[in-house]
Structure 1
Amino acid sequence: MRMFTNALIMQKAYAEEKSDLFFDYTSVIQRIWIGYSVESGLQDYELASEMSMLVPVLLATPALAIECHYLVLVIQSMEDASTSHADPNVDHGPSPFPGKTQSLMIMGHVTCNMIFHNIQKGSIFLASIPHLTYLIDLHYDSDNFCDVSRGLKPPSFLLYWWLLDIPWTCMKNLETFSVVYPHLAEPYKTCSYIDHTKGVDLHVEWLTVSAPLYRQDPVSFLWMEPPFPVTHPGQKRIQLDGVSFEVTDYCEHFWQFYYTWDKPWSCGITDGSEGYRVL
């Protein structure tokens, strides 16, 4: 993060000098990941100090992946920046959020946690988001989603708390809500998946809910009847009353007790069918 911020500072200096070395990162960066690892955790004060330089790039990036611990700080920084650039002497009513984010991906969120209640009500950033995706906490939720992959549990069993956490009154433009997880259908080597020295190659599965259909009647939303559908690698978009599943042909290496989403994300396989075709 610091290296990238230093690069932005350098480009700002080049721009002021009208140097031929100036390069505008905001015109080319399509995806940004703000994550956390045990080895090199990004402290709150470090991220906060870099935000003034990062915000212009974040606002111009179509796809953002953010560790849930940093979500409030990142969103507040972008909204503060957009507000500060508005003309206080001109009242044209509420202004649209200037960001270009089409896809917000959240990491580290587990089914029993609530993260959006810490975000200011009326968030203009969240109101602009059409696609919201969670990358499951591999340590916490893998076993539960294994049962979804095998058709043993309904999706509503796992998604209830996440859907309850979404600020629906604010996210009026939300089109899809997705959860991405390793496709843990049998047979797979459980011991290898747990053992960080080995790991196991797994396909990736998306569970997607149509936000407009769910919003119409959350209580009576049709989640499908048992037996629940089992989706196999390469099968795409089995649509059932606003709920769909898709599993990649492509495999990636996973360990249950280590955060290993960064490489699948960078390859695009966590973004849905359009994403993993870039491989």
Structure 2
Amino acid sequence: MDSITFRFNDLPTELALLILRYAAQTTFDQAEKYDKVNCPYSSVLTLCLVSKNFRRAVLPALLHTVLLPKPRNVRVFVQALLTQEAYKQASSDLHFDYAPHVHKMWIGLDGGNLTSADLLADPREYALQPSERPLAINLLTPVMLAASSLALGWTSVDLLIECLEHAWESRPATPVNEEHPRLPWNTETLTLSCGDPINRTKWKCLTDTPQGSAFLASISHLLSPTYLCRDNPLQVYRLPEWMKTAPLASFKSLQTVILPYPCTTPPINLRALVTTGVDMQMHLLTLPATLLKDPNNGIPKAIKVFDDIIGPGEEATRSDGTRLQVSEVLWCSRSGWEKVWAWML
């Protein structure tokens, strides 16, 4: 019997695109160890090299969730935006508008350091010249603020402040028939990675500017990768320290707060556990923002979690009527929070 040769090109275009987009998806598997060779984007990056048509078909999958955990990752991403701008100016077929396809973005600590801190750094680190920063902010702003879910290390908030200022100054005039101006961002879920209390002066860079206060007021979900710490065996957990300085009253649209806590009491100090990068089982506790905000802007020092009542993936109502929800069990390590965030939220 003669063998039948079937080529990918023989498929209907719609079916071929479905296959490509499925192959390009990333699961952000928490159990998988990522490196330069085996990264969450390895499949889609390989497909981008096949042809221009393949590249255009799978780039939305690459851009859906953008993880930039280190400053060099941010610099490389900004260099990609500069390249796209050059393609645009040259009317190249390789030009691709990133902003409409970015839904989630994670920027780790010191993400605003677009220039290299090491004068002897390898040029492959893609450090930018200081003169390039205004153009970089101009190109990064619509992409970063297109994300409905934005995660930031606290030392990268300066980058957010710059982008908010640029977006606010560049926003189009409000049409006469519109009562409220359109906000130049899509962000609804904000994740702040903070360990220690946050300097109030830095908060003022957001609360004391029209764009910063409007941004905070538009956030509906707030997440902290900083763990709740257990005070005693009765499931009472201390809230993250940074929340004691957070102006929660400025989050006028805030509906829910999501906080992680260990499933069991860790054998050593949580800070030491995170530093060593040891994996541990975690839950994500979702609670209403009203539990953390009161008319006097006070913040409770601790919160009661009913592990014996709330099972993984379940909800329960406290005696005061507050509804709490606990996620399924997650595995988390020092370098794994961005994968938990990308997978769960």
Q: Please show how residues 106-255 of structure 1 align to structure 2 within 5 Å.
A: 106-111=192-197, 114=200, 116-121=203-208, 122=210, 123-136=213-226, 145-147=229-231, 150-153=233-236, 155=237, 157-158=238-239, 162=243, 165-168=246-249, 170-181=250-261, 183=262, 185-186=264-265, 188-190=266-268, 194=272, 199-212=277-290, 215=293, 217=295, 228-230=305-307, 234-240=312-318, 241-242=321-322, 244-252=324-332, 254=333
Q: Which residue matches 1:139?
A: none
Calculate percent identity across the aligned residue pairs: 23
Asked if structure 1 preserves the Cα contact closer than 8 Å seen for 2:167 and 2:184, the reply is no
| Equivalent residue letter for 2:315 | R
Q: Which residue matches 1:257?
A: none
Distance 1:118 1:205, change over 3 A: farther
State which of 95, 106, 112 in structure 2 corresponds to 1:22. Answer: 95
Q: Which residue matches 1:276?
A: 344
Q: TM-score, normalized by length of structure 1? A: 0.69
| Equivalent residue letter for 1:7 | A
Displacement of 1:8: 0.7
Query: What SS is found at the alignment partner of 1:208?
Result: strand
Displacement of 1:5: 0.8
Asked if structure 2 preserves the Cα contact closer than 8 Å seen for 1:207 and 1:243, the reply is no
- List runs of 5+ in structure 2 lacking aligned partners: 1-73, 116-127
Distance 1:8 1:27, change over 3 A: same
Distance 1:43 1:60, change over 3 A: closer
Q: Which residue matches 1:102?
A: 188
For 2:273 and 2:254, locate their aligned partners in 1 and report how far apart those are by CA, in whole Å: 38
Distance 1:197 1:62, change over 3 A: closer
The alignment yields a C-alpha RMSD, in angstroms, of 4.0
For 2:240 and 2:189, locate their aligned partners in 1 and report how far apart those are by CA, in whole Å: 19
State which of 58, 65, 76 in structure 1 corresponds to 2:151. Answer: 65
| Equivalent residue letter for 1:236 | E
Q: How many residues align?
A: 248
For 2:173 and 2:187, locate their aligned partners in 1 and report how far apart those are by CA, in whole Å: 23
Displacement of 1:242: 3.0
Distance 1:211 1:91, change over 3 A: same
User: Which structure has the larger Rg over C-alpha atoms?
Assistant: 2
Query: What SS is found at the alignment partner of 2:185?
Result: coil
For 1:159 and 1:239, locate their aligned partners in 2 and report how far apart those are by CA, in whole Å: 23
Query: What SS is found at the alignment partner of 1:95?
Result: coil
For 2:301 and 2:259, locate their aligned partners in 1 and report how far apart those are by CA, in whole Å: 15
Displacement of 1:86: 2.6
| Equivalent residue letter for 1:230 | D
Distance 1:242 1:109, change over 3 A: farther
Displacement of 1:158: 2.6
Q: TM-score, normalized by length of structure 2? A: 0.58
